[in-house]
Amino acid sequence: MIDLHETEHVDHLIDQLMHENEIHVFIFVVRLGQLTDADKLGLEWLQRVFGDKVLQFVMILFTYEREEERDTIIDDLKKNPVLEQLLEKCGGRYETCNKMMNNQSEMRDLMKKIERMFNENNHQRYTGEMFNTALIKRKELENSEHKKIEPSINEETRKSTTKTETREPHGVRGD
């Protein structure tokens, strides 16, 4: 979903998604041991688009290729403060899974964790109403930021105009 921000019709797609569904969980997939800048920014994008409440519905899914990688997750978390912060933002909820997602045992574990999260959220889902509230807040913030920029631009223009208007042309004296 995060790659949608590069799509022209992202607002329409998200709007359609949110008004046709209630979401139990947002699964944030990260390749174990290969945290990219896009991954770091992805959670911020999710939060910016869906609002702060979205974090209570996010679970990180670390994928791996080889079984040995799975065993290093705790070590990786301790060594990587950025990864630790991502996890903290999501309430510490994560699961590991082979990148092929073909291990039924892992899929059952993931489903159990999602169910546990749903219960911890008192059976609440992320709704269109939550999204609309986040959208309104985002637009208000954008408008207030735009208004902050506008007066400073107008002030600079006024100063520049005032200086130009008060200068006397070179060589002209008012005697």
| pLDDT reported for residue 123 | 94
Tell me the mean pLDDT in the region 59-64.
88
The DSSP bridge partners found for residue 23 are 126
| pLDDT reported for residue 80 | 77
Beta strands in 68-150 (DSSP E): 94-98
Angle at 111 between CA 108 and CA 114, to 5 degrees: 155
| pLDDT reported for residue 157 | 54
| Average pLDDT of the chain to the nearest whole number | 78
Beta strands in 26-141 (DSSP E): 26-31, 58-64, 94-98
Whether the pLDDT of residue 44 is over 80: the answer is yes
Place of tokens 């637009």: 139
Tell me the mean pLDDT in the region 157-163.
53
Whether the pLDDT of residue 149 is over 90: the answer is no
Within 13 Å, how many C-alpha atoms sit on residue 128's CB side?
A: 9
**What structural domains and CATH numbers belong to the chain?**
2-129 (3.40.50.300)
Whether the pLDDT of residue 94 is over 50: the answer is yes
Sequence-distant (≥ 6) Cβ neighbours of residue 78 within 8 angstroms: 84
The residue type of 101 is: M
| pLDDT reported for residue 115 | 95
Tell me the mean pLDDT in the region 101-112.
91
Place of tokens 């702060």: 52
For the ranges 7-11, 54-58, 145-149, which has the lowest average pLDDT?
Answer: 7-11
Token reading at 146? 């735009």
The DSSP bridge partners found for residue 94 are 60
**Averaging pLDDT over each range in 95-99, 108-112, 136-140, which range is the top one?**
108-112
| pLDDT reported for residue 175 | 46
